[in-house]
Amino acid sequence: MTALAGAQAEAATAKRTAFGTLPDGTAVEAVTLVGANGVRARIMTLGATLQSLEAPDRNGTLADITLGYDDAASYVTNPNFWGQTVGRYANRIAGGKFVLDGKTYQLPLNDKTNSLHGGTKGFEKAIWRITEVKSGAQASVTMTLTSPDGDQGYPGKVDATVTYSLDDKGALTIDMGAVTDKPTIINLTNHALFDLAGEGSQGGIYAHRMTIPARRFTPVDKALIPTGELKPVAGSVFDFTQGRIVGAGIRDGRDPQIVIGRGYDHNFVLDKGATSEPQLAARVEDPASGRVLEVLTTEPGVQFYSGNFLDGTFVGKQGHVYRMGDGIALEPQKFPDTPNQPAFGSARVDPGKPYHHRMIYRVSVAR
């Protein structure tokens, strides 16, 4: 009896609730996952979005460490990529074009001359359907979405699934899967922006210390498309292999890549490559609060974006105005523009060969 009671006490919980409506009246739901150590994750059906992630500091004080809005409607009226599931293809595709089996496909150009995160109406703007909610050793929610053949110019009908699972040790696992009825390209990730001091903190992310186990990165041209080079990070502000303070290099205009990106907005080539089980892609620590975030993935790359396009026009949670450097995105994925750069590998998905990406956000405290 005692053992059973203890097991129940340690179980993570999941609770499904309404989360307001969109401007057109569409209802939005959310599922809140809570672990025994106090970590809380809220996932919203709009965009299969990680709407909040609360984690304790070294004194046990909880804070929401993700940027976003307090209400669902603002994600539509003032759109940004905050915590959403992005696809069909995360990151940029040059010219919005790619060739598959000899046929050229044209996607919407929603990033000047490129297609970004799936186009003008990517997965982040869709209402996903909740298919399962579970409490237990891991609390979880599963959401599904059907993207029809030709959606945003992509071939094939795609049935996508995202499952968020939270354990009692602070690990939020995100499993992303997809099947198609025609050859297509798929690259899914989560686009959360983090401030481990708590979203809207005065100092932002400049004092965060980050480690990325990547000895190379993919430089970009002025359109933020990879040039094709896999450039060593050694001796540059892109060397996070031994850990470095984010703010130390974020404004170093001596590096032309920092100038082009207005800071960091680059894909890092993970030393581990693509793996069957998630391995470390990045570790971030806020020395003041002690909060630590580790990002793990099965994918070969991680995009580090330092919030360079936050310009003070976005008013987020608790009325906080978000400005440059107020959040870090660490997006595990295939490399940007892979469909046009064969040396980067392949983003192709065929019928009968499902796509799967497992990533983990693991929060803890450094004493």
Nearest to 323 by CA among 259, 263, 257, 252: 263
Amino acid at 319: G
Q: Is there a catalytic annotation at residue 266?
A: no
Residues making up the chain, counted from first to last: 367
- Which of the residues 191, 208, 266, 357 is marked catalytic? 191
- Which of the residues 54, 285, 294, 331 is marked catalytic? 331
User: Cα angle at 144 between 119 and 121, to 5 degrees?
Assistant: 15
Q: Is there a catalytic annotation at residue 320?
A: no
For residues 123 and 86, the answer to whether their CB atoms sit within 8 Å is yes
Query: What is the DSSP code (8-state) at residue 153?
Result: G
SS3 annotation, 235-277: CCCCCCCCCEEHHHCCCCCCCHHHHHHCCCEEEEECCCCCCCC
Amino acid at 165: S
Q: How many CB atoms lie within 10 A of CB 10?
A: 13
Q: What span, in angstroms and rounded, lies between the C-alpha atoms of 120 and 122?
A: 6
Q: Which residues are catalytic?
A: 191, 331
